[in-house]
């Protein structure tokens, strides 16, 4: 019995090493504050739990019952027990008050942020089942629009201003900070900052319908130079097709329903209801974190989006094999 327990515990602990979406794999000050608080709570409460269970099990070692007699509790013993129970209750209250204080002060550390001068403000608008991302800037020509992927410079505070187009979603990148609901007709905010370069996966945390499971995003933290390079690239219009196949692919794109929903800046495609594809090839994933971004997955996604992410709002556009190959060449070139 004991061995089974150990095995289960071990498997539970090791089989679950923190992955790219773990809150225990903190990548910034906000996530650290919470992870530290979690560790302190766990240790303290774990000790209390063990004491209580120890006391309950130890009672099994006391005198057992014989026959049907009942006990008239002795006044002395009752008085002693009253003192012990009273002391334990007071102690519980004091511990909980202490926990309230450390919890509220951690909460203040997370939320009391005046707008730092170098902060990056990113607007995130959730829809069923993807994320519209816009980097705000006083200079309109510097505004970046992308989807399902956020790049941030290491060491700079980031404010997410979130809202939703349809149902309630929740923006959650566990490695960087706690979650915040994105609610239609409201704007909510969350702050975070990355302390090291890396990729942090996030996922919608509020049940939002059929494809709630496939509504992820990536936050890529990189050093200032890499970030600036990325930003400059994103500001560009789409890559002009440079081969015949890419040119054919562009024609396929512009000649099909694709343009009704998607935008490729620098072309006639200005659809606003689906992710902006201007720099789709530079992203890590397709279909809001559902598939790794490579040619094979892209082919599968374009040919049959409904079997990969059933119920999503992307139409299945019938294409001839050669049209599909050209389209893949073109979309794959949109760095």
Partner 1 sequence: MTSTQVSEETNRQALERTWASPRGLLGWLSMATHQAIGRRYIFTAFFFLLVGGVEALMMRMQLAKPDNTFLGPARYNQIFTMHGTTMMFLFAVPVMEGMAIYLVPLMVGTRNVAFPRLNAFGYWMYLFGGIFLYAMAFTAAAPDAGWFAYPPLAGPQFSPGKGVDTWAQMITYTEISALCVAVELIATILRMRVPGMALNRIPLYCWSMLIQSFMVVFAMPAVMVASTVMLLNDRTIGTHFVNPWEGGDPLLYQHVFRFFGHPEVYIIFIPALGFVSSILEVNSRRPIFGYPAVVLSQVATGFIAFGLWVHHMFATGLPQIGEAYFTAASMMIAVTSGIQIFCWLATLWSGRLRMTSAMYFVFGFVFIFVLGGMTGVMLASIPLDLQSHDTYFVVAHFHYVLIGGALFPLFGAFHHWFPKITGRMLNERMGKISFWLLFIGFNVTFFPMHILGLNGMTRRIYTYPAELGWGDANLIATCGAFVIAVGGLVFIANAAATLRRPADAEADPWNGSTLEWATSSPPPPYNFAYPPVVSSLTPMWTDPQLRTVVTGMNTDRREVLITGVTEGEPQFRTVLPGPSIWPFISALGIGIGFAGSVFAFSWYFVASALGTIGMVGWFWPRSSGRLKS
Site for partner 1 in 200-259 (CB under 8 A): 201, 203-213
Site for partner 1 in 95-124 (CB under 8 A): 96, 99-100, 103-104, 106-108, 110-111
Question: Which of 127, 131, 146, 180 lies at the binding interface for partner 1 (CB under 8 A)?
Answer: 180
Does 296 participate in binding partner 1 (rule CB under 8 A)? Answer: no
Question: Which of 43, 79, 88, 260 lies at the binding interface for partner 1 (CB under 8 A)?
Answer: 88
- Choose between 188 and 251: whose C-beta lies nearer to partner 1: 188
Pairing of the two strands 120-127 and 158-164: parallel
**Whole-angstrom distance, CA of residue 126 vs CA of residue 140:** 22
Does 18 participate in binding partner 1 (rule CB under 8 A)? Answer: yes
Pairing of the two strands 216-222 and 149-153: parallel
Q: How many CA atoms lie within 13 A of 106 on its CB side?
A: 20
- Choose between 200 and 227: whose C-beta lies nearer to partner 1: 200
User: Which region, judged by CB under 8 A, interacts with partner 1, from 84-92, 146-154, 191-199, 275-283?
Assistant: 84-92
Does 191 participate in binding partner 1 (rule CB under 8 A)? Answer: no
Token pair recorded at residue 91: 């102690």
Smallest gap, in angstroms, from Cβ of residue 232 to partner 1? 30
Question: Which of 43, 81, 232, 273 lies at the binding interface for partner 1 (CB under 8 A)?
Answer: 81
| SS3 assignment for 295-322 | HHHHHHHHHCHHHHCCCCCCCCCCCCHH
Q: Which positions ≥6 away from 282 have C-beta within 8 Å?
A: 230, 233, 234, 334, 335
- Choose between 116 and 311: whose C-beta lies nearer to partner 1: 311
Smallest gap, in angstroms, from Cβ of residue 48 to partner 1? 7
Does 294 participate in binding partner 1 (rule CB under 8 A)? Answer: no
Smallest gap, in angstroms, from Cβ of residue 319 to partner 1? 25
CB atoms under 10 Å from CB of 293, counted, come to 17
Pairing of the two strands 149-153 and 169-171: unpaired
Q: Which positions ≥6 away from 6 have C-beta within 8 Å?
A: none
Smallest gap, in angstroms, from Cβ of residue 26 to partner 1? 10
């Amino acid at each position: 019995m004991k061995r089974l327990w150990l095995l289960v515990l071990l498997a539970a602990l090791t089989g679950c090493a923190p992955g790219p979406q773990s809150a225990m794999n903190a990548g910034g000050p906000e996530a650290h504050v919470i992870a530290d608080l979690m560790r302190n709570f766990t240790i303290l409460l774990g000790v209390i739990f063990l004491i209580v269970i120890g006391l309950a099990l130890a009672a099994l070692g006391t005198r057992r019952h014989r026959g049907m007699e009942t006990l008239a509790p002795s006044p002395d013993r009752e008085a002693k027990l009253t003192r012990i129970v009273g002391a334990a209750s007071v102690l519980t209250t004091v511990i909980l008050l202490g926990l309230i204080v450390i919890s509220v002060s951690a909460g203040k550390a997370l939320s009391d942020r005046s707008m730092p001068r170098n902060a990056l403000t990113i607007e995130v608008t959730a829809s069923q089942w993807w994320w519209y991302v816009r980097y705000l800037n006083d200079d309109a020509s510097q505004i970046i629009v992308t989807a399902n992927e956020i790049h941030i410079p290491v060491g700079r505070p980031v404010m997410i201003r979130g809202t939703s187009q349809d149902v309630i979603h929740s923006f959650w990148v566990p490695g960087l900070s706690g979650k915040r609901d994105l609610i239609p007709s409201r704007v909510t905010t969350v702050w975070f900052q990355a302390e090291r370069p890396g990729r942090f996966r996030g996922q919608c945390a509020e049940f939002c319908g059929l494809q709630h499971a496939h509504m992820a995003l990536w936050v890529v933290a990189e050093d200032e130079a890499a970030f600036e390079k990325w930003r400059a690239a994103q500001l560009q219009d789409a890559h002009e097709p440079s081969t015949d196949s890419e040119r054919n692919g562009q024609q396929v794109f512009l000649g099909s329903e694709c343009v009704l929903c998607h935008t490729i800046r620098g072309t006639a495609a200005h659809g606003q209801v689906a992710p902006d594809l201007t720099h789709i090839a530079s992203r890590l994933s397709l279909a809001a974190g559902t598939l790794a971004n490579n040619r094979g997955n892209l082919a599968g996604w374009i040919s049959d989006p409904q079997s990969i992410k059933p119920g999503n709002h992307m139409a299945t556009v019938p294409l001839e094999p050669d049209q599909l190959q050209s389209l893949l060449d073109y979309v794959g070139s949109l760095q």
